[in-house]
Every structure is written in C-alpha cells, then in structure tokens.
Structure 1
Amino acid sequence: MSDRPRLLPLLGSTRHGSRDAMTCLYRCGNACDHPVPNTSDNAYFGDVVSTEVSRRGVVRAGAVGALVLGFGGAAAGALAGAAPAAAAPEVPADLDALAVGRPEKGVGNGALTFKPVPPNTLDSFIVPNGYDHAVVIKWGDPVVPGAPEFDLHRQSAAAQAKQFGYNNDFVGIIPLNRRRALLVVNHEYTNENLMFPGFTSQDALSVEQLKIAMAAHGMSVVELERVGGTGQWRPVDSGRRPYNRRVTANTTKFELTGPAAGSAWLRTAADPKGRTVVGTLNNCAGGVTPWGTVLSGEENFNQYFVGGDAAPEDAKPKLARYGISTSARYPSGSRKWERADERFDLAKHPNEANRHGWIVEIDPLDPESRPRKHTALGRFKHEGANVIVAKSGHVVAYMGDDERFDYLYKFVSDKKFMKGNSWVARRHNLTLLESGTLYVAKLGFTSAGEIDGSGKLPTDGAFNGTGQWIKLVSGNRSYVEGMTAADVLTFTRLAGDKVGATKMDRPEDVEPSLLTGKVYVALTNNSARGTGSNPKADEANPRNANKHGQILELVEHRGDNTADTFTWSLPIVAGDPADPSTYFAGYDKAKVSPISCPDNVAFDATGNLWISTDGNALGSNDGLFATAVEGPERGHLKQFLTVPVGAEACGPFITGDNRSVFVAVQHPGELDGASVENPASNWPDGDYAKPAVVITWRLDGAPIGS
C-alpha cells in the first residue's frame, strides 16, 4: 500500500451517503425524496463542515456513559441510592470531577497506536491485530426472564415484546458494580423484508406482523457480567435479572413532563388530559446522565403517520414542517401501522403526531418506573441528547435535529445538580430536565466572502467563527413572537425558523467532552446543499453537494456551558484524504484513514474522540474511527474497526477502564433486493442477517486504542 491513499470511487446515488433505496424507505420514510421541510430563508451552515469537523465529541452512548465503566464515572456514583431491587453499586472516589467536567492534563492525547483496519467490503466484523470481539446480544434473543427462544417462522408480538428488538442503535452502560452492569439499547426501526419470510410489501403484512414490528421498536435493558478478568462482557442468563426490561412502541406508557404537557396540542381522544403517551418511535441516539438514567431521541417519527391530507387546515403547515405529507393519505415510505392501531391515522387523531419527537428519559435502575417524554427540551427529529454539569451546577443538554438544513439546540436546567449518592439527591436530579431554558444556535462566519462551495480553505487557514445561543423559551415564558411556550416546545422547528437559526448539514450526535467542556457536533452530510433553490455553502458547511460530512467543534465563552455565546471551528472535513476538499486538523493527510458520513461519537477515558459512520459514500463498509483532539496527534484519524456489508456502525461506547468497546451493528445486509430467503449478509450466524451489539477488547488486557 502506498503512503498516499488512493482516491476511492464514489457511488452514483444521490441518497443518504451510499445507502440503498431500502435504507431510505425503512429508516426515514424516503425523507430525501420529499421536499426539504425547512423552507425558511435562515442562513445556512453547510459548507464549513468540509474542513473543520474537529472531533464530533458526541457519543451516542452519552458523555457520562463513555467514562463510567471504569468504574470512575458520574453515573456510577449517582446509582448508589437508586435501586431497591438489587445491592447498591460501588461509588467511585472521583465522581465529582467527572460530573462537572474539569479540564485535565493530557486530555485527548492518549496513545492510539493500533494498526488501522483498511477500507473493505467484507461481510464480517473486522478488528485490529491483537484484538478480539464477540456478539453480546442480537435480534430475538431473550431479554425478560421467561421469554421464549426466537423462532423466525413462529414470531409473535407477545414474544417480541420480551425479546431483544430490531435495529439496535444507541448503546449505554449503567454500572452496578465492578463485575455487573446494565446495557441499555435503542431499537430505531424495523426492516420487515429482512424479518419475515415471504415478505412482499408493507400492504401485505398481517396485523400480527405489524404488531411484531411495533414490539421490535423501543428500547432494551439487559444485565451484563464481566467474563473473567478480561474486557469481554456478556448477558446474565440465569437468576432473577430484575432490571431486564423491554420498552416498545405499542405497549409502554410514557409520562409527558414540562410546560407543554397537558396543552391542547397534546390531547387526544384516548388521552384527553394530554399527559400520557403510548409508545416511543424511531429511537436513535442518546446519552447517559450523571444521575444514572438514559436519554433517548425520537427521530424520524413522521413516517409512521398517514392521513395528513385530512388533517385540519391550520394543522397542515405544522405537520409539513415535520415532514408529514399533507397532500397524500399514504405518503411514500408509510409503514401502514394505522391498520393495527388507528391512532396513527391523523384523519382520526390529528394530535397523535405531536406526542412524538421528544427526548425520552428512562431509569434502568427502577424497572417499575414509567419512562418520561420531556417537553422542555423541545420537539423535533431528535438524534439524541447528551448532558454535562456546568460550573454553576446547572445541567446543560446538547441536541441536534437530524434533517437537512435544520438546527442545533441546547437546554439549561432551572435547578442545579445535587451531588452525592443519596435517594434524596437522585429524586431531585430526576426532575432536572422538566424545566429550564431552550436555545437554538445562530452561527457567524469570519470569511463568508471566500466560500465558493468547493471546500477550499479561506486565507486565514480555517473554517471558523463565532455564534450565539438564541433563547426560545424559559419555563412558561416564550421569547418567540406570536408563539406561546407550548407552541414553541411542540413546534420547535417553527420557532427556530422565526428567530433566524442557522441551517446545518444534518446535525446528529452533539456531545460535550466531560474533560474539557468543548462540544462536538457530527454533521453527517447534505447532498441537497447548493442544488436547485436550496441554500449554498457557507463557512460552517463549506461544500456544495456535501456527500461526506464534517465535525464541528464548539467552545463556549469562558468555558461556561451555560453561556449564550461561543466560538466554533471545523477540525475534520470528511472524505478521502486524497480529495483536496478534505481536512484533518492540519495533520498530514497521507497518514490518515478515509472517512465518510460521521454519525455518532464517543470519548475514551483520556479524551480521544471516537467516530462511527453511517452511509459511507466512498464505497467501503462503515466503521469506527479514533483520533486525538488535543496535542500534536490531533487530526490523526485511524479506522479501528469495520462492520459487515450493508450495516451501519452505531452507538460506540468505550468503558471507563479503556478495556472494552461496545458497537451496535445496525441493519446488516440492508441492500436493495435482499430478503430472508435471499440475504445480502449472513452475519453474524451464517444464515440470515441479524442486528446485534458487539464488544471488542484487547487479548492482552491492554487499553483500547493501543
């Protein structure tokens, strides 16, 4: 192999990255084939991403989650008073330092000495020399004690509600002690053509099959145990397993909290008080909180609803802004769930869609607790939410709206985080996301006149600028003209339009580093930029027809995460290093791995940034990458692993002892024409494709990355 990476061939698709039509259909209901929902004339942030994607420091597993399993993290300490069902977890001595995110020496400069895995198209899970891996749990495996073994030909909704769901995404770990932990996983969506033998179309599915798909959505909580003294973990397969739990789209009840709860927008015939929702939809990324709960983002919820053409006229602009068709009863990509549950028919229940698109909080340590949807954090296509405790003690949550030309948000709690491990402290902290102030980002550019859409660096040598957080709502007070607080929180996209928020290139994971307080945003791609009447490139989104995405680094004023101003830059602009429009923080591009479509991020215990990809437009499989964010190795990006054919690498989570990496392998074999009988992948068991969570560790017990 030459020192200079060759320019890898690009695929011809104009869809999301290099994804097949099947992915576009099942994941987001063909969102890219529909008009861009954001028709405002707000400024666009799309072109700066081409060179300055510094380190997307936003882990799907959550800021705290990336550090807890040492067990030296904030979540570990928060759990001590939490769970009457089992013995109290051990409490680390360094809880407070990790919770507030104080800078430490050597941050982001831990040694990443592994030999990179080369780009490939193998139907395998590939790791570096000296490492091993194993499937932790896969679709259909029993979760709840008493669940039946999976039988492909005898599936039922009742069985699936007790088994591991489909298309695992976010991965989080809640430690119980040094040898036991809880694995918390999102199940984003289903591929019915890869689930049911003899599949022909969504219309031909039986009502029972539709209910199976509903039960395969949601979340799973699974108790794990360490294997000997290694970095491997596996499910506990005997005993009470009191924490094990399934959350689904059709059986689990959720409590609405915050200022919009009970408002007219959230009331339905089945819930006239507007405070209780059945199910959660399209759960994508998430985060682990310092008090030991998990946050999960409801993303492409629009595809589950039909009948928008018959909705009340005053509701249609609001539905359209969220990607719900108001002209066709059955829009392209419809899942036909209304055949199994009429609440998905907006002609009959016009407010049901408003009850989805929120941040969900679940308490894995209390299996009897009711999950909550927090209206104070706004409603949009949430990729996820990740939190940090600011210097003042307030909790700050960062969020991205994963749509072309949509916005970046943050939430600052009214109350302060209560330190300590008492039951009183934990009950207090469980209320932190119920009230606070919601902001949307507006970016300023330093070299706007030099941006030509090619990705060429400005003469000052960087894509960078300043920005401000625009206040949308605080408690019950709206700061958006013509909108009440309930309006702003329920139709947050419209509020962002009104105040001039900056249009971004699909902001997905957004995560603060607990060690530095810097925030990293994964901007996945935006092939629509600069096409037709769509916004052209700008300094933050510097490339037209952006196929590969970028990482944005955001530094709050004076290091205060509650500040209302910030500076930003693009440390990484993704693509083939031989492409002149790419940038890797100034590092020698002949020595970095090609990367396309950054999606999720995570941090290891020393602060290195780990980036997983979705939809590699360079023609090779998706994977997990690592780079330092500080020091001379900043920008030295190396591919750590690759996932099988057709799969996406999701939810990277590096344990706090730096001995294990969890990755969710989502939709393996998701290629056009694939089916159960004609699989495009036979990973992991050699028969038909199954989404699964995988763990990787060093055989000699050395730290991950070495």
Structure 2
Amino acid sequence: MPPLLPFLSPSSGSPCASGRAALTCRMRCGDACAHDAPNTSDNAYFGDVATAMSRRGLLRAGAVVGVGAAAAGLSLGAAGPAAATPSVSARAGAKSSDHGGASGKGLDFVPVDPNTLDQVTVPPGYAQAVVMAWGDPLFKGVPAFDVDRQSADAQRKQFGFNNDFLGLLRLGRGQHLMVVNHEYTSEQMMHRGYDAANPTREQVEIGWAAHGLSVVVVEEERGTGALRPVLGHRLNRRFHTQTAFELTGPVAGHPLVRTKADPRGRTALGTLNNCGGGLTPWGTWLTAEENVNQYFANGATVTDPVTLARLKRYGAAGGATERKWERFDDRFDVAKEPNEINRFGWVVEVDPYDPTSTPKKRTALGRFKHEAAEPRITDDGRVAMYMGDDERFDYLYKFVSSGTVARGDNDSARRRNRDVLDSGTLYVARFLGNSSQAEIDGTGALPSDGAFDGVGVWVPLVSGTTSYVKGMTAEEVLLFTRQAADLVGATKMDRPEDVQPSPRTGKVYVALTNNSNRGAAGQAVADEVNPRHANKHGHVLELTEHDDDAAATSFSWNLLLVCGDPKDPTTYWGGFDARRVSPISCPDNVAFDPHGNLWISTDGNALGSHDGLFAVPLDGDRRGQVKQFLTVPVGAETCGPWIDEDRVMVCVQHPGEKDGASVDAPASRWPDGPGSVPRPAVVAAWRTRR
C-alpha cells in the first residue's frame, strides 16, 4: 500500500548536495532535500512549447505575450509603458580597486581567500564587531544570556535565535531601527542534554519565543562603523509564536483559515520560519514565512483527498514533527486543527516605527515558501513585489498592486499605504531560452550564441476576487498558490531564493541556490534558464522588464553567473575572465550598495570552504568579477546582508551547527571565544583606513 503522504518518501538523490550539515537540513527546512520534491507537475518548458515557432518573432515582447497566453490558456494584457522608478533597497559600499586592476566604485578591497576558520574573516584594512547575538536583552531588567539559565519569559525579551533577514531604517542622530528575522531554532544547539524524542515544555516554550522577529534601536559608535543596541528604547519589540498577527486581504475570514481559537479567521498567533524579507519605500518591513510545513504534524491522518493533495504540495509532515510542538499545543496537529497550517506561509508587513501596531499577513501576495519580498515602483506609481518560492522545481512570482503608492517613508505615507498590499494581481513566471534545446546538454556549457538568455512572460493567477486559474476560486489560488502555478504551466526553477530589483537600473536579480535533482530520473531536465543537471552550486539570474516597467507582463533575461569553481569551464562569470574571480557556491541572499554593485551571500558552500559574502559589478568591463568580502565561522551561513556607505553587515546564522555538535560538544566557539557556546549574531564590518 503506498504511503498516504508519498511526498515524504526519501529522494533518490543526495540528501544534501551542498556543504550544509544534516542537522541544519532537519531543523531549518524539515529535511526538504531528503524527500522527493513536492512539485510533481509535468509542466513543459516554455522553449519546448515554442520550438516550432519563429524564435526571432518570439524575442519581440508582443509575440512573447501571445505565446505565454496560448501556452497557459489565458488572455494576457499588453506590456506596460516605460521607465519604472527603482525601489528602495539595501544601500552600501567600501571604496575601490581589485584583482590586478581598478574595480568599480565600492569594490576597493583585497578579496578574502576561501577558508575554514572559526571566525568572521574580513579584508585587510577592515574591522568588525558583533552588534547583537542570541539571548542579548532588548529591555532593561532582562537577564543577560546564560545558556544554563534560560527561560521562555526571558527569551521573549531577548534577541531570538538564527537571525536571517537584516535591515536598517533611519531614525536620525546616529540611530537606526534594526529589523531582524529569527528563522528557526536548533534545540540541540540551545540546551544541554537535549533529548530530541522528549523535549520539555520549557524547552518548547523557549523555542516558541526564540522564533519570530526583533526590532532593535541601534546607535553608531563614534569614530567606527560599529553599532550598539539601545537597551529599553520605546521602539524595541519582540514578535514570537504567541504574538497576535492580523490576516488581511482576500483570504482573511475565509473558512479555510478559521480555527477553534479564531472562528472569524482574522487573527493568527505568531510567525514561523521567517527567512528573507524587504523594506518598502514607505518605511515598513516585509518578512517572509518560508518552511512552515515542518511545524505541523500528523498529516497522514487526513483522509480527504483534496486536503491531502494540498498538504502534499506544501510538504507537511505525515507524522510527528522534529520539535514535537504538537504535544504541547493542538494547533500544530493537523488532525486536530486542519486549518492552522493555512495561516502560515505568507508575507508579513510590520511597521517598526509604531510600537503599538499589529503586524499584517498580506494574503494577496500568495502562500508558498516565501524567501523574500522586494519592491519596485511601477511607472504609473503602483508597487511591484518580486518573490521566490524556495523549493526545488518551484517558481518565481510577482505581485502588482491595484492602487498607487503615496511617496515618502513618513507616518503620513505609511497611513496612506497601509492597505496597498491587500489588492492587486499575482503573477508567476514562464521562461523561454533563445537557443535550441539541443544545445542545453545539462553540463552548463554555453550555447553557440555565447550566453544563457531569452525572454519570458508573467502569467496572471489572480486579481482581487477574479481567478485566472480554471477550477480554483480567487481565495483558493492565494491559499494554494503552488497548485495554481502548476496548472498554468509555470517554469520549474532551481530554488529561487532572494529576488531584488536594482535601485539604479530596475533590473531584477534572482539567486537560484541549487537543485541536486535537476535531470534526475523522473525530474525536469536542464533548460536554458536552469542549465545544469545535479546543480549543486546554483546561479544568478538577471531579468529586465519590458520597457523597464515593473508592471510589464513580459521580460528578457540572462544568467549573470553560473556559480562554482572558476577552474570549471562550465561556470560563467558574466563574460569576465574566470581566472580573476573568487569561487562562489550556493547564492542565497542579494543586496545592493550605493554604487549599484550586487552583493551575494551564500548558504551551503559546496566547494569545501565556509560560506561568505561576495560583491560583483554589473556593468562595464568588470561585469561579473566576483570578489569575496568575508567568510563566516564553522557551520554558519551568511545571511542578510546590508551594505551602506559606513559599514557592511551580515547575519551569521547557525554557527557551530555541525552533525554531532551540541551545547555539550560545541563545534564552534564563535563569537564569545573559549569556554562558550556558539551564538547566532549580527556582525558589522567597516573600513579602518582609506
């Protein structure tokens, strides 16, 4: 008899092709790579659909829209007008030179060599310091961190675990609002003698409190780039699994989000597995719920086939969960609260300037494994949000608001824009390469035209209360967006993670982290936008909207980087000389500096060195020249990042998280040194000489 939830059967591929520890895989994403990918749709690659047609004609945007509509069985609107306004984004930079020649502005540093040191390593001429670490208090009267004297009450007022997204918002007078996600907990790395089969209630409640979000006022240290938290500032806040969040938009109040504790379906407790995020032009913070499936147990008890299919597509656990939260709160048991899982997997908007505000789960942006949500203003004043679904063979999305945006990042603009993300059109991407499919052999070798490039369309899924997906209501499209995208034939991608428009050019950059199952038996083969089988190093996509308008329904694209060892001839560096770049593997988060350079953090380096932060110019004769700026300690991942004129900042996530490591047997002593346990932390680095 086949398992009730076949999506939990082990994958035939490697459980973790990158350098990530198995412990990290279990705690962060529910061991997603050790199971079959949830996407079992047989979507044809856009290039296959169009093979018999004139590729020259397809490269014209109007023709592309027509092909996309025919392939999806939909009617698409024409592309919008020109000249979009770039978004607010991370700001950044050091100064300038490089590997054997002058670099562009912002890149004048000596690249850090790949290494396996248990420290944060930065270039010569730079200093660094921890800004805040797990367990540091946000409020007066809260105890300092002590691994042997933890409590749930203290943790609700301390900096959370495993920091991921990082952003700074201005306050003035040398102060900033620092906003940080706390993606997940690793209880083996938090508690002495932790018994994974029998966690205590206190340990579980500490985990509940260590998830979520932190808003912390930080102030500049005079004469350096260091930042120090302002203890007890009135804007400091912690959000965790017991904090009230408001469901807004089309799904709010729907029967599928109602529970015994919330029969109106409008208030969810907590936010889970917050990974990337974004900052809006009006001064709010977007935080993305990603691998929420791993927190909900006993899906195998469900008998309704429709519900089973939905759970399967989102990868919910068939039996007990890793953390066993379902033993202590029925809402984490699908058999007892079948709708609770539907209240997670959203983009959340927070107003950090208002300490009395309730965060909003914006359901109009769709429900999937959100890695991030990054904005760009359209030519007619609306906002476009770019989003990736971080799973093997899942999709790239865009949301365009119905209403226009009030300009400015002040209280008035935030009030006027408070509902702008509750109504709009949600799209999913389809890609077409401009080379013959016969030239894409899965090795990563360039086709005869010398580039991986092509065109594509944004296929509409839902707009307000109108569904464009046959057999699904608008609310169902938003609740089960993955299944809707399957039905319209979206292009299967290699784990689209962070997606961010350039604040200078408006071009959109997508980090595709890896996909060890590309080309495996029964799985999608390589195509021009995902050109390698067993893709363990990932790639970076550059997307240009038609007429440079974020509201457009068609685009062109190329691969900026095909990552890996530069000595591998099937890597690609934007046309730059591979002998003069830093090796990079598993791109994850992206950000920009004030000079328009792209910065890339990595997750799971498959080249044997530690994860790091890299910078790359995007134009001129140095386009594609990757330079490594820093590395992180043993077992850690580089997250964030944030770069401005004064400093480079990263979140150092899960340091010391190696298989067999624990509080009793730590694999790292960062950041506190000998005799300590590793603590996730935010780090700032700054130039000490000009």
Residues 354/158 of structure 1: CA separation in 2 closer, same or farther (3 Å cut): same
Instruction: Tell me the distance in 2 between the aligned counterparts of 1:20 and 1:572.
Output: 25
TM-superposed CA distance for 1:45, in Å, is 9.0
Alignment length, in residue pairs? Answer: 629
Alignment match of 2:88 (pick from 64, 70, 76): 64
The 1:359/1:567 distance shift into structure 2, 3 A limit, reads same
Which amino acid counterpart does residue 20 of structure 1 have in structure 2?
A: A
Q: 2:387 is aligned with what amino acid?
A: M
Partner of 1:493: 482
Distance 1:549 1:420 in 2: 37
Q: Distance in 2 between matches of 1:588 and 1:45?
A: 31
CA distance in 1, matches of 2:544, 2:326: 45
Instruction: Provide the C-alpha distance between the structure 2 equivalents of 1:646 and 1:42, rounded to a whole number of angstroms.
Output: 37
Tell me by how many angstroms 1:19 deviates: 1.0
Instruction: Say if 2:305 is the partner of 1:305.
Output: no
Aligned-residue offset at 1:265: 1.2
Alignment check: 8 A CA contact 2:93 2:648 kept: no
Distance 2:106 2:482 in 1: 42
In 1, distance between residues paired with 2:409 and 2:627?
Answer: 39
Please give the per-residue CA displacement for 1:669-689, whole angstroms capped at 9, x wherever unaligned. Answer: 110000111111010011111
Contact kept? 1:194, 1:675, Cα under 8 Å = yes
Tell me the amino acid that sits aligned with residue 380 of structure 1: F
Q: 2:559 and 2:93 mapped to 1: Cα distance? A: 30
Indicate if the aligned counterparts of 2:253 and 2:265 stay in contact, CA closer than 8 A. yes
- 1:69 is displaced (CA, Å) by 11
Map 1:423-572 to 2 at 5 A.
423-447=411-435, 448-572=437-561
Note the C-alpha offset of 1:424: 3.6
Q: CA deviation at 1:420?
A: 4.2
> What's the secondary structure of 2:438's corresponding residue?
helix
Instruction: Give SS of 2:127's match.
Output: strand
In the alignment, what sits opposite 1:368? 356
Q: Mapping of 1:391-402 within 5 angstroms? A: 391-402=379-390
Q: CA deviation at 1:269?
A: 1.0
Q: How much has 1:461 moved relative to structure 2?
A: 0.6
- How many angstroms apart in 2 are the aligned matches of 1:243 and 1:205? 34
1:356: which partner in 2? 344
- 1:666 paired with 2:657, answer no
How far apart in 1 are the matches of 2:482 and 2:537? 25
What is residue 326 of structure 2 aligned with on the other side? 338
CA displacement, residues 164-214 of structure 1 (integer Å, 9 cap, x when unaligned): 00000000111101401011000000110010011132x221011001001
The aligned residue for residue 272 of structure 1 is 263
Among residues 391, 395, 400, which one is paired with 1:407 in the alignment? Answer: 395
Q: Does 1:37 align with 2:32?
A: no
SS of structure 2 residue aligned to 1:116? coil
Residue 158 (structure 2) pairs with residue 163 (structure 1): yes
Shift of 1:64: 2.3
Equivalent of residue 167 in structure 2, options 158, 172, 190: 172
In 2, Cα distance between equivalents of 1:489 and 1:460: 39
Distance in 2, Cα, partners of 1:578 & 1:228? 44
Structure 2 equivalent of residue 243 of structure 1:
235
User: Aligned partners of 1:396 and 1:181: how far apart in 2?
Assistant: 26
Tell me how far apart the structure 2 counterparts of residues 45 and 552 of structure 1 sit (CA, whole Å).
17
> 1:145, CA displacement in angstroms?
3.2
1:230 Cα deviation (Å)? 2.7
Query: What are the Cα deviations for residues 557-580 of structure 1, in whole angstroms up to 9, with x where unaligned?
Result: 010010000001001000000001
Distance 2:93 2:247 in 1: 31
Which residue, 316, 319, 322 being the options, matches 1:329? 319
Tell me if structure 1 keeps the 8 A contact 2:93–2:593. no
- Residue matched to 1:105: none
- Corresponding residue of 2:562: 573
Match of 1:150 in 2: 145
1:618 paired to 2:611: no
TM-superposed CA distance for 1:532, in Å, is: 1.5
Q: Using the alignment, how far apart are the partners of 2:255 and 2:554 within structure 1?
A: 34
Residue equivalent to 2:65: none
- The structural deviation recorded for 1:33 is 1.4
What is the alpha-carbon distance in structure 1 between the residues aligned to residue 417 and residue 361 of structure 2?
A: 16
* RMSD, aligned α-carbons: 1.8
User: 1:113, 1:143 → 2: CA distance?
Assistant: 36
List alignment gaps of at least 5 residues for structure 1: 1-11, 47-61, 71-107
Identify the structure with bigger relative contact order (alpha carbons < 8 Å, sequence gap 6+): 1
User: Quick one: distance in 1 between partners of 2:313 and 2:653?
Assistant: 28
Please name the residue that 1:135 is paired with: 130
Counting only pairs closer than 5 Å after superposition, residues 635-646 of structure 1 correspond to structure 2 as 635-646=624-635
**Closer, same or farther: CA 597–68 of 1 in aligned 2, 3 Å:** closer
2:248 match: 257
Distance 1:598 1:400 in 2: 13
Q: Which residue number in structure 1 is paired with residue 208 of structure 2? A: 214
Structure 1 residue 153, shift from structure 2 partner: 1.2
Write the letter of the residue equivalent to 1:329.
G
Within a 5 Å distance, the mapping from 1:27-106 to structure 2 comes to 27-43=28-44, 64-67=88-91
User: Secondary structure, in 3 states, of the residue corresponding to 2:591?
Assistant: strand
Aligned residues of 1:128 and 1:641 also touching (Cα < 8 A): yes
Q: Is the 8 A contact 2:540 2:560 kept in 1?
A: yes
**Among candidates 612, 634, 639, match of residue 623 of structure 2:** 634
Q: Give per-residue Cα distances to partners, 1:637-665, cap 9 Å, x unaligned.
A: 0100000011000001012xx12111000
**Rounded Cα–Cα distance in structure 2 between residues aligned with 1:199 and 1:267:** 35
SS of the residue corresponding to residue 606 of structure 1 reads: coil
For residues 500 and 44 of structure 2, the distance between their equivalents in structure 1, rounded to whole angstroms, comes to 23
Distance 1:520 1:391 in 2: 19
Q: Please state how far the C-alpha of 1:159 moved relative to its aligned partner.
A: 0.7
Amino acid at match of 1:315: T
Match of 2:591 among 602, 608, 620: 602
Whole-Å separation in 2 of the counterparts to 1:115 and 1:154:
43
Give 1:65 shift: 4.2
Secondary structure of the residue aligned to 2:550 is coil
Work out whether residues 305 and 334 of structure 1, in 8 Å CA contact, stay in contact via their aligned partners in 2.
Answer: no
Distance 1:14 1:274 in 2: 37
Matched to 2:407, the amino acid is K
The match for 1:189 is: 184
Amino acid at match of 1:628: P
Q: TM-score, normalised by structure 2?
A: 0.89
- Whether the 8 Å CA contact 2:110–2:123 is kept in 1: the answer is yes
Secondary structure at the counterpart of residue 427 of structure 1: helix
Distance 1:568 1:221, change over 3 A: same
Q: CA deviation at 1:389?
A: 1.2
Note closer, same or farther for the CA distance 1:229–1:429 as it changes in structure 2 (3 Å cut): farther
Describe the SS at the equivalent of 1:544.
coil
Deviation of the 1:32 alpha carbon:
1.1
Shift of 1:155: 1.0
Q: Does 1:24 find its partner at 2:25?
A: yes
Q: Is the 8 A contact 1:528 1:546 kept in 2?
A: yes
